[in-house]
Copies of this chain bind each other. A is one copy, B any other.
Amino acid sequence: MSEAVEKILGNYAGENPGVIGNLRRLMNTGTLAGTGKMVILPVDQGFEHGPARSFAPNPPAYDPGYHPKLAVESGCNGYAAPLGFIEAIAHEFAGEIPLILKVNNSDSLGDPGQPCSALTSAVDDAQRLGCSAIGFTIYPGSGFRNEMYAQIRDIIREARDVGLPSILWAYARGGDMSKQGETAVDVIAYAAQIACQLGAHVVKVKPPTEHVWLDAAKKSYENIPVGTLEERVRHVVQSAFDGRRIVIFSGGAAKDRDSVIEDIRGIKAGGGFGSIVGRNAFQRSHDDGLSLLRDIMAIYKG
C-alpha cells in the first residue's frame, strides 16, 4: 500500500469501493505508481481535429493500436480515447493499463452553435470494454451549460453505480467569453471548482495564464499571487477543494520539448497531481514521444 495514494484516497471517503478501487488502480499503475502523481495519454484528436491534423506528423499513430502500446511502454497511468479507438484495442489492453472511455466528443466540421460535445458512448460501453473510468468534457460558459451539467449529473451517478470514477475535462468557453478568457486564471480556477462541485473524481484543466477575465473577480485577485505558473497551479489546486480533489493539467498544442518540460516543473511545484499529454507525445516520432513521456514522469517522480 502506498501512503501517498492512500492519503489522496482519504479525500474520497464516502465513495463506494468500486470507485475507490479504480482510482487506486489508476494511481498504482505505471512509472508513477504509488507516488500519488499521474500522467495520462489521451487520444481524442482524431475526433476533435480530424485524422490528418492529428496523425500525419507521425503516421503510425493512425493505427488505434499505436497509442495504448505507447502508454504502456512509457509507463502512463492510463489511456483515454473515444469509443472507436477503445473498441479497437480493448480486447488486448483491458487489464493491462487502465482504459478511460471518453463518452462525449466534438468535431471541427460543425457544431450546435454554442460549445457542447455530443454524447458518443455510454457507461455500459465502458463496462463492456473493461474500462477503469469514464471521461466527459464540460464547457462552462457555454449557452448549453445546463444540458452538459445535467448529462454529467446522470453519467457520474450511472458510472458510480458500477464502480467507475469520472474524469472531467473542464474547458470554459462559449457565450461572450474571449479566447484569452478561456485560459485566464480566474476562469480555470472557477472551471475546476465547478467540476469538483459536480462530483468529478479527477479534473483536467489547461495551464492557466496570468489574465483575470471576470470583472467581478478582479478585486479578489488583487491579493492572490498568480505571477508564475507554480502560483497559478497552486491557486487552481486550492480552488479544487483545497487540494482534496485530483487536478491534472493538459499540455496543449504540440510544442518544443523545453517548453513542455518547463510547464511540467511548474505544475509539479504548484502541487498539481499530474498531466495529460496527448499531441506532445503521439505527434512526435515513437522514440521522441517515449523519451519525452519518460522525462515528464521523472520530474513528477523526482
Residue ranges of A at the interface with B (Cβ–Cβ < 8 Å): 11, 13-15, 46-47, 49-53, 56-57, 59, 62-64, 82-85, 87-88, 90-92, 105, 107-113, 116-122, 124-125, 129, 140-146, 148-150, 153-154, 157, 172, 174-177, 186-187, 189-194, 196-200, 214, 216-217, 220-221, 223-224, 235, 238-239, 241-242, 244-245
Determine how close the nearest CB of chain B comes to the CB of A179; give it in whole angstroms: 15
Do A120 and B197 touch across chains, with their CB atoms under 8 A apart? yes
Bound-complex Cα distance A217 to B133 (A): 32
Q: Across the interface, do A14 and B129 meet the contact criterion of CB distance under 8 Å?
A: yes
How far is A146 from B147 in the complex, measured between Cα atoms in Å? Answer: 11
Chain B nearest CB, measured from A191 CB (Å): 7
Q: Is the pair B189, A242 in contact by a Cβ cutoff of 8 Å?
A: no
Q: What is the CA–CA distance of A82 and B199 in the complex, to the nearest angstrom?
A: 9
C-alpha spacing A144/B221, complex, angstroms: 34
A125 CB to nearest chain B CB (Å): 7
Question: How long is the Cα–Cα vector from A148 to B120 in the complex, in angstroms?
Answer: 10
Check A197 against B52 for contact (C-beta < 8 Å). Answer: no
CB pair A110 B177 closer than 8 Å: yes
Question: What are the 3 closest A-B residue pairs judged by CB atoms, nearest first?
Answer: A110-B175, A118-B149, A110-B141
Q: A14-B91, A109-B177 are in contact. Are A64 and B194 (CB under 8 A)?
A: no
Closest Cβ of chain B: how far from A271's Cβ, in Å? 13
Q: Is the CB of A52 within 8 A of B143?
A: no
Copies in the complex: 5
Select one of B15, B64, B153, B189 contacting A50, CB under 8 A: B189
B residues less than 8 Å from A125 (CB atoms) = 157, 199
The distance in angstroms between the C-alpha atoms of A191 and B47, with both chains bound, is: 9
Nearest B-chain residue to A16, judged by Cβ: B128
Tell me the complex Cα distance, A176–B241, Å.
37
Assuming A50-B193, A110-B140, A112-B146, what are 12 further A-B pairs, CB within 8 angstroms?
A11-B88, A14-B91, A56-B223, A62-B239, A84-B196, A85-B197, A110-B141, A110-B174, A110-B175, A118-B146, A118-B148, A118-B153
Q: Which residues of B contact A142 (CB under 8 A)?
A: 110
Establish whether residues B145 and A111, one from each chain, have CB atoms under 8 Å apart when the complex forms: yes
A142 and B146 alpha carbons, distance in the complex (Å): 15
Q: Chain B: which residue is nearest A187 at the CB level?
A: B109
Q: Report the separation of the CA atoms of residues A187 and B108 in the bound assembly, to the nearest whole angstrom.
A: 10
Q: For the complex, what is the distance from the CA of A177 to the CA of B189, rounded to whole Å? A: 32
A87 to chain B: which residues have CB within 8 Å? 14-15, 199
Q: Which of B49, B122, B140, B197 contacts A157 (CB 8 A)?
A: B122
Q: What residues of chain B lie closer than 8 Å to A90, measured between beta carbons? A: 14
Taking CB atoms, residues of chain B closer than 8 Å to A149 are: 105, 118-120
A105→B53 contact, CB < 8 A: no
Question: In the complex, A150→B120 CA distance in Å?
Answer: 6
